[in-house]
Chain A
């Protein structure tokens, strides 16, 4: 946070956080909150996401790729769920406007389009080409990896929804004990 002349932040508060330390939208009435975890998640979440994108892009030449990147990004959401989620799925549900199946479908669709696209220029299915993009050499199969990345994030979110908040909701409704 850099101080602009308009804001006039006092010198002692130059490193004060601009937002809440806890997770936005986290259920305020929950009794078993772990503040330490919530605050740590606040820091870790963007870092893990950026690292997952790094894994996604670097995957063509070094260890990484869409699957690994997607799982890493998924873990970031798992962390948020553990810190702020609950039976209502407050944390994930309140922040996420996209439904996980749609994310999965979009990823799969992107991968399939990338698979078919070379046919349009007379190359075999699934072949890739190097493209110079803003001075950086990018392989066109990166798009396929992006599709896989989205697909895996969708799968993790769907698991969090069904096996995470879904089960907790069942347990609270007293349906947890089945024959």
Chain B
């Protein structure tokens, strides 16, 4: 069983190696990617069941025991997030493969796309599973290095510029992360998360606060928390649709996961954190207001992404089992729905030849399937019952209502931000899907992947998007068992004991 924990990390590397070797066989390359990700999905599901029934599954790499060696830990939270992330990655891969086939032909193989895509998946898996602060850094670096390649492939000048913003801001946050690790190691003498839980508690309060704030800033940049969010709406929309979907779905949420893990395990507070509550309100409101001002569909979705990061921060700030459970549930819901929206936005762009909302119109009549594919995740994002967004927001609101006066006030802002989200998506709906039918614009630069203004869209791209819509509906349908799991995961996070016992024995 414990060997299984290593598979989500090692299998994608193996897949990357094979797809580099078979660089001339385009079909084989595609097959390798899909088979590997399906295998990781199965492993993640098995891990989730095992972690839920018998407690965290731990593997000591190379047989070196815990505080000295590196451990991989699959507890309820990490196994659940691993499962949903891999499902989304798989759907995005299918979409991307099909987009590449319809744009460049069936025989076009790539030396970079497939291996890098799988390496990104390795980084995400390692970030969820690792029980070691330095491995977490390595995981982020694998993820980021892969994302630098994906965001700047097939470039034009504008994308190089926005890619540079992304690379520089990511390097800055990596540097901060490394500094934090150095400080943590200097003050405690360990980087094992479970070991740190005990040793950081013995540090002077001032030092503890410093380390805690450093991790919040580091992971806050990666999660696009206001006021560290400015890079996201600038860089994400300039990548091709599947890449944006993958980044928006996974990368920011990995940042939130790292925040959740470190704040609950290493820096447990006593009661709601005022700093995080203020940051949560700022993130929710600034993101939502930013979205209302946008005319570019992808930029609008990016601002909504920032806004919803605030929701997850809120659950974290409440700092009790319900809050942590709410955040976990929200991450699951948001990974799915945000990736879906960006994929559908890619389909809309291909249909209309533009990303500008003003230049679209009448799509509901011309393409009813697209209208349904957009409407369901949009309403899910806004949190209309009975969607998964409603279930996740309800969990957060309940956590807020059960807390102090501060959390109740912030819960009000959650409702406000949800209304603003609804306003933003309804605005998109009215302008894009209703109104006069407009002719698709021609593609002014056929060599970039960004805007492809032809109606060349094959069925599997719709199927992949529809599959993700189905996943988010399934999340709503399985809300009972799922929220039971996240509640147990939240209780584990706050109690800390199951994790510590599993790792340190």
User: What residues of A have a CB within 8 angstroms of the CB of B62 in the complex?
Assistant: 124-128
User: What residues of B have a CB within 8 angstroms of the CB of A109 in the complex?
Assistant: 14, 17-18, 21
Chief secondary structure at chain B's binding surface: helix
B217 to chain A, nearest CB (A): 31
Q: Which positions 98-137 of chain A face chain B at CB distance < 8 Å?
A: 99, 101-102, 104-109, 112, 115-116, 119, 123-128
Contact indicator B14/A124 (Cβ below 8 Å): no
Known: A112-B14, A124-B3. A105 touches B20 (CB 8 A): yes
Partner of B60, one of A112, A116, A124, A179: A124
Known: A108-B16, A108-B17. A127 touches B10 (CB 8 A): no
The size bracket of the interface on A is 20 to 34
Q: Which positions 139-156 of chain A face chain B at CB distance < 8 Å?
A: none
Chief secondary structure at chain A's binding surface: helix
User: What residues of B have a CB within 8 angstroms of the CB of A107 in the complex?
Assistant: 17
Scoring A107, A116, A119, A128 by chain B CB atoms within 10 A of each residue's CB, the highest score goes to A116
Scoring A101, A102, A128, A179 by chain B CB atoms within 10 A of each residue's CB, the highest score goes to A101
Mask, A85-102, CB within 8 Å of B = 1, is: 000000000000001011
Mask, B9-23, CB within 8 Å of A = 1, is: 010011011111101
Contact indicator A125/B17 (Cβ below 8 Å): no
Q: Tell whether B111 is near chain A: CB-to-CB under 8 Å.
A: yes
A170 to chain B, nearest CB (A): 15
- How far does the alpha carbon of A179 sit from the alpha carbon of B63 in the complex, in Å? 55
Partner of B10, one of A102, A115, A124, A179: A115
User: What residues of B have a CB within 8 angstroms of the CB of A101 in the complex?
Assistant: 20-21, 23, 111
Q: Tell whether B459 is near chain A: CB-to-CB under 8 Å.
A: no
Q: Tell whether B41 is near chain A: CB-to-CB under 8 Å.
A: no
Partner of B21, one of A102, A124, A125, A127: A102
Q: Which residue of B lies closest to A109 (CB)?
A: B17
Q: Which residue of A lies closest to B72 (CB)?
A: A125
Q: Which residue of B lies closest to A112 (CB)?
A: B14
Known: A106-B21, A124-B3. A112 touches B59 (CB 8 A): no
B227 to chain A, nearest CB (A): 34
User: What residues of B have a CB within 8 angstroms of the CB of A179 in the complex?
Assistant: 157
- How far does the alpha carbon of A124 sit from the alpha carbon of B60 in the complex, in Å? 7
- How far does the alpha carbon of A179 sit from the alpha carbon of B14 in the complex, in Å? 40
- How far does the alpha carbon of A109 sit from the alpha carbon of B21 in the complex, in Å? 9
Q: Tell whether B61 is near chain A: CB-to-CB under 8 Å.
A: yes
Contact indicator A123/B111 (Cβ below 8 Å): no
Q: Tell whether B6 is near chain A: CB-to-CB under 8 Å.
A: yes
Contact indicator A127/B13 (Cβ below 8 Å): no
- How far does the alpha carbon of A102 sit from the alpha carbon of B62 in the complex, in Å? 28
B117 to chain A, nearest CB (A): 15
Q: Which residue of A lies closest to B5 (CB)?
A: A125
Contact indicator A102/B63 (Cβ below 8 Å): no
User: What residues of A have a CB within 8 angstroms of the CB of B2 in the complex?
Assistant: 124
Contact indicator B20/A116 (Cβ below 8 Å): no
Q: Which residue of B lies closest to A123 (CB)?
A: B63
- How far does the alpha carbon of A102 sit from the alpha carbon of B157 in the complex, in Å? 31
User: What residues of B have a CB within 8 angstroms of the CB of A108 in the complex?
Assistant: 13-14, 16-17, 20
Contact indicator B14/A125 (Cβ below 8 Å): no
User: What residues of B have a CB within 8 angstroms of the CB of A127 in the complex?
Assistant: 62-63
User: What residues of B have a CB within 8 angstroms of the CB of A115 in the complex?
Assistant: 6, 10
Known: A123-B63, A126-B61, A179-B157. A105 touches B3 (CB 8 A): no
Q: Which residue of B lies closest to A154 (CB)?
A: B20
Contact indicator B3/A119 (Cβ below 8 Å): yes
Scoring A106, A107, A124, A128 by chain B CB atoms within 10 A of each residue's CB, the highest score goes to A124
Contact indicator A124/B17 (Cβ below 8 Å): no
Contact indicator A102/B14 (Cβ below 8 Å): no
- How far does the alpha carbon of A112 sit from the alpha carbon of B118 in the complex, in Å? 14
B61 to chain A, nearest CB (A): 5
- How far does the alpha carbon of A126 sit from the alpha carbon of B5 in the complex, in Å? 13
User: What residues of B have a CB within 8 angstroms of the CB of A99 in the complex?
Assistant: 23
Q: Which residue of B lies closest to A99 (CB)?
A: B23
B398 to chain A, nearest CB (A): 41
- How far does the alpha carbon of A115 sit from the alpha carbon of B61 in the complex, in Å? 10
Contact indicator B61/A125 (Cβ below 8 Å): yes
A97 to chain B, nearest CB (A): 15
Contact indicator B17/A105 (Cβ below 8 Å): yes
User: What residues of A have a CB within 8 angstroms of the CB of B63 in the complex?
Assistant: 123-124, 127
- How far does the alpha carbon of A110 sit from the alpha carbon of B201 in the complex, in Å? 43
B226 to chain A, nearest CB (A): 35
B107 to chain A, nearest CB (A): 17
User: What residues of A have a CB within 8 angstroms of the CB of B115 in the complex?
Assistant: 105
- How far does the alpha carbon of A108 sit from the alpha carbon of B23 in the complex, in Å? 14
Contact indicator B10/A125 (Cβ below 8 Å): yes
Contact indicator A112/B20 (Cβ below 8 Å): no
Contact indicator B21/A112 (Cβ below 8 Å): no
Contact indicator B3/A125 (Cβ below 8 Å): yes
Q: Which positions 148-179 of chain A face chain B at CB distance < 8 Å?
A: 179
Mask, A74-92, CB within 8 Å of B = 1, is: 0000000000000000000
User: What residues of A have a CB within 8 angstroms of the CB of B14 in the complex?
Assistant: 108-109, 112
- How far does the alpha carbon of A105 sit from the alpha carbon of B111 in the complex, in Å? 11
Q: Which positions 245-287 of chain B face chain A at CB distance < 8 Å?
A: none
User: What residues of B have a CB within 8 angstroms of the CB of A104 in the complex?
Assistant: 17, 20
User: What residues of B have a CB within 8 angstroms of the CB of A105 in the complex?
Assistant: 16-21, 23, 115
- How far does the alpha carbon of A54 sit from the alpha carbon of B115 in the complex, in Å? 31
Contact indicator A112/B111 (Cβ below 8 Å): no
User: What residues of A have a CB within 8 angstroms of the CB of B6 in the complex?
Assistant: 115, 125-126
The 7 A-B residue pairs whose C-beta atoms are closest, nearest first, are A105-B20, A108-B17, A105-B21, A109-B17, A126-B62, A127-B63, A124-B63
Given contacts A112-B14, A124-B63, A179-B157, 17 further A-B pairs with CB under 8 A are A101-B20, A102-B21, A105-B18, A105-B21, A105-B23, A105-B115, A107-B17, A108-B13, A108-B16, A108-B20, A112-B10, A119-B3, A124-B2, A124-B3, A124-B61, A125-B10, A128-B62
What are 20 inter-chain pairs, A to B, with CB distance below 8 A?
Answer: A99-B23, A101-B21, A102-B23, A104-B20, A105-B16, A105-B17, A105-B19, A105-B21, A108-B17, A109-B14, A109-B18, A109-B21, A115-B6, A115-B10, A119-B3, A124-B59, A124-B60, A124-B63, A126-B6, A127-B63
